[in-house]
Amino acid sequence: MKPGSPLTITTARTVLALIVVLLHPSPGPAIERFPPPDFVESNYEMPVIQQTMPRSLVAKYIDVIVLAGVLSLVAKYIDVIVLAGVLSLAAVLVLKRRSRRETLWLSVFSMLYFGFWRQGCVCSIGSIQNISQALFDSSYAIPLTVLAFGVLPLLAALLFGRIFCAAACPHGALQDLVLIKPVQVPPWLDQGLRRFAYGYLGLAVVFAATGGGYVICQYDPFIPIFRLSGSTMMVWIGIGFLLAGTVIGRPYCRYLCPYGVLLGLFSAVSRWRVRITPDSCTQCRLCEKSCPYAAITLPDLETTAPRAPVSRGRLTVMIIVLPVITAAMGALGAWAGKGLALKHRDVALSQRIHLEDSGAARGTTDASDAYRRSGEPANVIHARARTARDQIVLAGLLCGVWIGLTAGIKALRVSVHRPRHDYEADRANCFACARCFDYCPQEHEQLKRLGRPLPAWASANAET
C-alpha cells in the first residue's frame, strides 16, 4: 500500500477522532437506554442492609476454652485414637489392598510408637488384668484408656479377624522382624503348646480378680526390651524368645499370649476374614509353605477322602472321654491353686506374720513391719488370707475345667470331618499378616490386572 493512499488517510482520521473523544474533559450528555426507576412515585421501600455484628469478647473466650478442651481431650486419649486409626488402616491394608509390605510397615510404626515410645504401656495384653479386677472388685475404677485398649482389638477381631496381631501389637511386630528362617513345628507339638496360653489366661484372671497382682505385666518378656531396663531374669527371657523367634514364627504369640486366646475366640466368628486366593485355588501349596504360624487348613485330597468312619469313631470316644478330662483338669487346677495361693500378697504376709508370732522365723521383713505399724491386728490379715486362698483354689478349679474343655473341644473339632476343597486360613490362628498373599499365583494375576506391582521375589522370578 502506497503512502498517502485513501485507505491510509481514512484510518488515521478514525484513530485521531477516537483519541479526541477519549481525552475530551467534558463529554456531551448521552441518552440513557435503561433509566433507573422512580422510587418516590412508586412508594418502593429500600431494603435494609444487614451487617454481621462483630463477635463479643465473651464469645471469643468461649471459643478458646472449647478449643483448649478439645486439644486436652485429644492429648489425654491420643493413644486410643492412634490405636483406633491403626486398626482401621490395618483392616484396609489386609482385607482390601491385600498388601504384605504396607502391613509390615504399619506394624513397624506400632512397634516404635506403642513399644519403644510408650514403653509398652498401655498394653492390650495387660488390660485383661484391669478388666478382671474391675469385674470382681467394686472399689476399683478402670481407666477409660485401659478399657478401650482391651475392648477395641476384640471388636476389630469380631469384624475383621486378628488384624491387631497383624499390625497393632508391638510384641508381634518385634517377633515378626527377627524371623529369619522359619521351621514348621510338628502339629501335635504345636497344638499341645498352644494350651499354655489358655492356662496363662486363667492364671492372670485369677490373680487380678483376687488382688494377687498383675502377673502379665510382671512377667512380660518384651517390656524390658521396650524400656531398655528391667530385671536380669526377664531380660534374658525376652532375649530367649527373640532367639527362638528367628526360626519359630512368633513363639510368644502362639504359645503364651493370653490376649491371643480371646482374639482367637472372637476371630473364629468374625464377619470378614482373610481369604488366601482372590479367585479359585490352584492347590499349589505355596501358601502352606509360606505361613510360619501353621495357620493354613489343608483341603481334602483324594487319598485321604475315605476317613469319615474313623472320624466318627474318634468323635464317639472323645464325647465319652471329655467329661473325664474336664474333671481331671479341674482337680489338677484346684491342687495347683493351693500352691499358687502362697504367691498371693495377703497369703504370703499372713504366713510370715504367723511364723514370726510363733517364733518359727527370726527377725522381720519390710512387709511385716509395715503391717504392724498400720495397727491392724493379726487376725485381720489372717482372715483376708483365708478368703484369698479359698478364692484362688476355686479359681484354679474353674481354670482347670476351662483348660480341659478347650482341649476337649479342640479334639472334637479335629475329629469332626468338614469337607474342604481349598487351602484356607484358620480364623482363630491366622495372624492376618498378609504373608500368604505374596505367594499366591492367583494374587499375582489379580495384581497384574489392577496394574499394581508384584512382590519383589515374584518380579525377579518373572523376569528370569
pLDDT of residue 303: 44
Q: Tell me what the mean pLDDT of segment 189-193 comes to.
A: 88
Q: Tell me what the mean pLDDT of segment 42-67 comes to.
A: 73
Determine which helix (DSSP H) or strand (DSSP E) holds 347, and give its type and residue range.
Answer: helix 345-358
Q: Provide the pLDDT confidence category of residue 195 given band limits of 50, 70 and 90.
A: confident
| C-alpha span between 226 and 29 (Å, rounded) | 89
Q: Tell me what the mean pLDDT of segment 63-74 comes to.
A: 80
Q: Provide the pLDDT confidence category of residue 306 given band limits of 50, 70 and 90.
A: very low
Residue 207, pLDDT above cutoff 90: no
Residue 263, pLDDT above cutoff 70: yes
What lies within 8 Å, CB to CB, of 118 at 6+ separation is 79
Residue-by-residue DSSP string for 280-344? ------HHHHH-TT--EEPPPPGGG-S-HHHHHHHHHHHHHHHHHHHHHHHHHHHHHHHHHHTTS
| C-alpha span between 235 and 232 (Å, rounded) | 5
pLDDT digits (tens, 9 = 90+) for 350-385: 888 888 888 888 888 888 888 888 888 888 888 888
CB atoms within 10 A of CB 223: 24
Residue 25, pLDDT above cutoff 60: no
Domain ranges of the chain: 78-276+289-300+422-450, 309-415
| C-alpha span between 76 and 144 (Å, rounded) | 10
Which range has the worst mean pLDDT, 90-104, 124-138, 256-270, 409-423? 409-423
Rg over alpha carbons for the chain, rounded to the nearest Å, is: 37
Residue 244, pLDDT above cutoff 70: yes
Q: Provide the pLDDT confidence category of residue 414 given band limits of 50, 70 and 90.
A: low
Residue 36, pLDDT above cutoff 80: no
- Alpha helices, H only, 97-136: 100-110, 127-136
Looking at residue 242, its amino acid is L
| C-alpha span between 125 and 113 (Å, rounded) | 16
pLDDT of residue 187: 86
Upstream peptide bond of 321 is cis (omega within 30 degrees of 0)? no
pLDDT digits (tens, 9 = 90+) for 176-186: 999 999 998 99
CA atoms within a 13 Å half-sphere pointing along the CA-CB vector of 307 = 15
Residue-by-residue DSSP string for 210-261? TTS--HHHHT-SSHHHHHT---HHHHHHHHHHHHHTTTSS-HHHHHT-HHHH
C-alpha grid cell for residue 79?
493413644
Q: Provide the pLDDT confidence category of residue 279 given band limits of 50, 70 and 90.
A: confident
C-alpha grid cell for residue 124?
492390650
